[in-house]
Copies of this chain bind each other. A is one copy, B any other.
């Protein structure tokens, strides 16, 4: 820094970060407000921790990343403490649950929404700061808590504008997979490496397909670049059990459960897992959440390595066009599960916890794709300035409009060029321009230009169909508010 050349600083967003303008902010806020309302109705309380945590307290909980500390923005405080920006909202929850364990209600239902930071290589659509929106229940051992999270997730999706039928919440259970591993002979302490390979292998089913996963379950797999990944060394029968788990979904929850029981055989843990899935399904069904919304699906494998019991994933089932113009399902927008060991590293005591994280940007993209974005993005009424000596009059007009709760502003740039004022109104997405020159001022009138109608006329290039609706009216100044209101209602 000290020997930097003296020059103008670059006006640039740092690499991997971005700025959000106008409707990008309001549409996200509107969506998060709706989700918040659902979480609130379910009895969840907000928690807002600071962006900064000690590195010590953050620990290595980032799922799906092998070396999490490398993925964090960290620096050393003057006290020699290492501080870092939070990489998710779960690690701060674990810290809070430990720190305030004597004061918080138990179970503690909390929601949190806000930015998180990842010190990763940025890419297209991949940013180093992004929003998460989580809800978790800490201290509830029963799967009733997991069922509640699933129901709440379904309600939240519908509340923001994803209609029933356009989403499905899939539920799986890590315990069933552990049972499957037992049956495949992978239970002992000496098999931890193999279990890890199996977990990572099935996590890749979407990308590698059955053959790729089978290769990783067996001897290993060479990828297109020629790199070899060592496999778990399972024989064909063992691999069959694992593949059977991934493909255990049947037409009904009862049939799927029956198939899973078959697979886990006599494994007590596996059977417990299947029982949990059945309990979740029956609790949800009693509340009216049937398999059209929430289903048992052992094909949900993402995060199975991280979670310790039930695992959930919300998928949007409608089709969009991908970047190459091909149809594909929109896919996952939220995921979660039970993670019973998170608080233990602080206190030594295991505390049961379960929760869900909504991918805010993904869900917002889905709402855009469905045309379900709800925030009002109309620009303000623009009062133009014909005579700069009468600024007080123009400001009086916007004051009247604002007092009537109409979004309005006076043009505050250089008023010399009137065309610039109309260009400004256009850039602002303004629905109405208000004009008062000397003549109108003398008569006590104002001219209103309907800019929405004007744009339509310009686009269709025929005035004929609009002839009954004037794009411009002159009204008494005293009628300004009422006349603007009429024009806005027509637009």
Contact = CB atoms under 8 A, between A and B. Distances in A.
Contact of A395 (B8, B47, B117, B286): B286
Contacts of A11: 57, 95-96, 98-99, 346-347
A19 interface: yes
A46 B22 contact: yes
Interface stretch (A141-149, A310-318, A437-445): A141-149
Interface residues of A, number: 104
19 contacts: A1-B82, A15-B81, A17-B50, A20-B49, A21-B45, A21-B47, A26-B46, A29-B46, A51-B85, A51-B117, A107-B411, A140-B413, A144-B391, A147-B395, A148-B395, A151-B399, A155-B402, A283-B392, A287-B395
Contact of A99 (B12, B42, B139, B155): B12
A79 interface: yes
A105 interface: yes
Nearest to A21: B47
A306 interface: no
B107 A412 contact: yes
A405 interface: yes
A210 interface: no
Number of copies of this chain that the complex holds:
2
A41 interface: yes
Given A83-B73, A109-B409, A424-B106, A57 B9 contact: yes
Nearest to A95: B11
A52 interface: yes
A398 to B, nearest CB: 8
A10 interface: yes
